[in-house]
Structure 1
Amino acid sequence: MAAAFYRDYIVDLKARIDDLHANAERYQTYELTMELLAQKNLVSYSEKKAKGQTEGLSYRRDFTTGQAVQMQQQSAYALFSGFFNLGQFLAFTGEGREQDAKRFAELLTDNWQYPTCAIHFIYRKKGQPKTTSTRMHFVGLNGEADAAVYERQARADGVVQQGPFSSAVFWEWK
């Protein structure tokens, strides 16, 4: 069975995140956490609004040197925007994370050829009765040809085969 492509989902997700940045006053509460693994670096981005107070933090950790440095939110977000503009995406199921952590880490880094991004986004716009949330982990690829190559190399149970996907670990919008 072929893996599910997530390009359309990422376009929608990016539009929602961009709206949050452009119109933060429209949101009663939100929490956005993103982690990007690329080129032997981890870029972490978090932004939160609760009880009228906002806060955010971004940093980069170099896996080669072990050093971590704080980043400007705008600079970090630009890296995530670059990820969102890639040609195609596959999503990880998260199955086997705890049982075979080494294999899962190899699946994520794949010799650092493809970037991966974990996203947890919860928000409630003003006037809406409930929150909306997603928690997914994607690999970014140049296009469908790269997606086919990546899928052949990855374990079949490691990549989402059919959407919408929902498990105890990851879920599409709910």
Structure 2
Amino acid sequence: MSPAFYADTIADLRRLFTEIDRAPETVQTCALRFELAAADALVVYETTRRKGLTDSLFYGRPAGAEAQQTIPQVAAFAAIDRFLALGQFLALTGEGEAGKPLDKRYPHCAVSITYRRKGQPKARAMRMVFIGFNDDADALAYGEGADDGALVIRRPHVTAKAFEWM
């Protein structure tokens, strides 16, 4: 079966990410964490909002470096935003071979977000790992060579390890 595409979900996620970055007061509570692995580098964007206070942490590890270092918020946001601007996305199920290394030819981003807007009765949450591609053709070609069960093929995807918006 063909893998499920996630460009629509990522477009919504990109808008939400930008909104929380620019105006965190628009949400009552949030716990947001993006871990982007691309070109042997790592960028982590993490922010939490509770009781009107926002706490953020931005760090990364440049390609070839062994130690992580704090990076400016602008740099972390730009890296994540560039990933979210790619043309197509596939999602890992979390059920594939444990410990198997990521394919370094493609950027991968682990997303963990829980948020509740002001006035809303309940929070929404997502925990997924997305792989970014330039277009549908690249995503399909990658999907054809992927291990069985490694990629999400049916949406919405909900397991104990990975789930779409709940």
TM-score normalised according to structure 2 size: 0.94
What is the number of residues matched between the two proteins? 166
* Aligned-pair CA distance for 1:67: 2.4
* Structure 1 counterpart of 2:148, from 147, 156, 160: 156
Runs of 4+ in structure 1 off by over 2 angstroms are 62-65
The amino acid across from 1:8 in the alignment is D
* Structure 1 counterpart of 2:116, from 98, 103, 124: 124
Matches within 5 A, 1:37-116: 37-62=37-62, 64-96=64-96, 100-101=98-99, 103=100, 105=101, 108=102, 110=103, 112-116=104-108
Rounded to whole Å, the distance in 2 between the matches of 1:166 and 1:2 is 18
Rounded to whole Å, the distance in 1 between the matches of 2:96 and 2:142 is 18
Rounded to whole Å, the distance in 2 between the matches of 1:58 and 1:167 is 28
* Structure 2 counterpart of 1:143, from 131, 135, 144: 135
* Aligned-pair CA distance for 1:63: 5.5
Q: Deviations over 1:39-90 (max 9, x none)?
A: 1011111001112221111111136331221111121011011001111100
Secondary structure of the residue aligned to 1:156 is coil
Runs of 5+ consecutive residues of structure 2 not aligned to the other structure: none
The amino acid across from 1:30 in the alignment is C
Contact persistence 2:58–2:71 (CA under 8 A): yes
Runs of 5+ consecutive residues of structure 1 not aligned to the other structure: none
Are 2:33 and 1:33 aligned? yes
RMSD of the alignment, in Å?
1.3
Q: Percent identity?
A: 40
Rounded to whole Å, the distance in 2 between the matches of 1:162 and 1:155 is 16
Secondary structure of the residue aligned to 1:158 is coil
**If each structure's helix is expressed as a fraction of its own residues, which one has the higher value?**
1
Rounded to whole Å, the distance in 2 between the matches of 1:96 and 1:144 is 22
Rounded to whole Å, the distance in 1 between the matches of 2:65 and 2:24 is 36
